[in-house]
Amino acid sequence: MSRIHYTKPSITELEIRYATDAVTHGWGERCYEYIHRFENAFRSHLGVEHAIATSSCTGAMHMGLSALGVGRDDEVILGDTNWIASASAVTYLGAKPVFVDVLPDTWCVDPEKVEAAITPRTKAIIATHIYGNLCDMDALLAIGRKHGLPVIEDAAEAVGSQWKGRRAGSLGIFGVFSFHGTKTMTTGEGGMFVTRDTALYEKVLTLSNHGRARGQTKQFWPEMIGFKYKISNVQAAIGCAQVERIDELIAGKRRVFKAYEQALAGLPLRMNPEPEGTVNGFWMPSFVVDEGVPFDREALLQAFHEDEIDGRVFFWPLSMLPMFTSRPENIVSYGLYARASNLPTYHDISEAEIERVVRCVRAYIGRN
């Protein structure tokens, strides 16, 4: 029986050819060739003016927050159901992540809770498009305008998602993406900072080069303390191939989700939503069992393990982690994780493999 991985990348001869060329020729004067090509291709795909390729999405977030002036004792509001990277970059700057509850249908940050959490110390709002699901960007942007706060899009998991005709990551003051090996498109490790704001772009560009400003004539002359979150030319070469195949990669994710959605229809659970006017990239098909229905997440994960299926838990509320203060008043976040799970998804998963996963899920929904 073949193992079903929870996710894996789609790599073809095109990625291999570009990476081989970068390894063979991408040095000296050509050392940034694929990087610039990757940035331009992704910028064009997203429909934004500026893009900076980075070594990680976390690094992109760190630089963006720093460029906005987030610093010690400032507060940044974000959803409690989240991956820690969204909060980590806030803490790197000495600021405090403020965790608020999420919506029960999208599992993304609740705009009403965001507005209620704003204080004089609030410096920014992070909208994390979790599992490809979209935050209510109209509501969040309106709150940002009302209170003079920038809204940042953590689109690490949202390649392929669209909000009313605009791609996720292109609506806020800046957006960040992940190209980790688990993502819809990958460079192995890597990320992207994107923005329409030219002044912010120039600030982040300087920060990304150890504080050396573009156009500086003095060699090795930084004007400020910066960062080193650069992607390599070889990684960017893989990214170039992935962007060329981006429509195919997104379509593959959507195909897998639709197969799960059809196979699990009729069960007392909810999966990733796709509200009218939006497109969900469905990075990670996930389900939440209805309240009151018996479900043992750990038993399901054990059943997956016994059937050679990789299981993956739904994100814990960040405020449950030992380094943060507990926020049990976030009742939606605290009620989701134990009733939820992610499902294996990758470009070439077969119908038979999906059915193996579905058989396990069906056996453990409503089981005492």
**What tokens does 258 get?**
């639709």
Contact at 8 Å (CB) between 196 and 170? yes
Q: What is the pLDDT of residue 71?
A: 97
Q: From 3.90.1170.50, 3.40.50.300, 2.40.37.20, 3.90.1150.10, which CATH number describes the 247-364 domain?
A: 3.90.1150.10
Query: CA 28 to CA 12: how far, in whole Å?
Result: 27
CA atoms within 13 A on the CB side of 85: 20
Would you kindly state where each structural domain of the chain is located, as residue ranges? 13-244, 247-364
Which residues share a beta bridge with 278?
A: 163
Query: CA 303 to CA 299: how far, in whole Å?
Result: 6
Nearest alpha-carbon partner for 187 in 31, 25, 5, 34: 34
Query: CA 141 to CA 311: how far, in whole Å?
Result: 35
Domain 13-244 shares a fold with domain 247-364: no
Which residues share a beta bridge with 67?
A: none
Token pair 């694929």 is found at 34
13-244 carries CATH number 1.10.167.10: no
Contact at 8 Å (CB) between 100 and 140? no
Q: What is the pLDDT of residue 367?
A: 66
Residue 162: exposure state from Cβ atoms within 10 A (0-12, 13-18, ≥19): middle
**pLDDT per residue of the chain (368 residues) written in tens, 0 to 9:** 789 999 999 999 999 999 999 999 999 999 999 999 999 999 999 999 999 999 999 999 999 999 999 999 999 999 999 999 999 999 999 999 999 999 999 999 999 999 999 999 999 999 999 999 999 999 999 999 999 999 999 999 999 999 999 999 999 999 999 999 999 999 999 999 999 999 999 999 999 999 999 888 888 899 999 999 999 999 999 999 999 999 999 999 999 999 999 999 999 999 999 999 999 999 999 999 999 999 999 999 999 999 999 989 999 999 999 999 999 999 999 999 999 999 999 999 999 999 999 999 999 886 65
pLDDT in tens, 39-58: 999 999 999 999 999 999 99
Q: What is the pLDDT of residue 217?
A: 85
- 196 to each of 50, 120, 226, how far by Cα in Å? 6, 27, 21
pLDDT in tens, 90-134: 999 999 999 999 999 999 999 999 999 999 999 999 999 999 999
Instruction: Please enumerate in sequence order all residues whose Cβ is within 8 A of that of 359, keeping only pairs 6 or more positions apart, or say none.
Output: none
Neighbours of 355 (CB within 10 A): 11
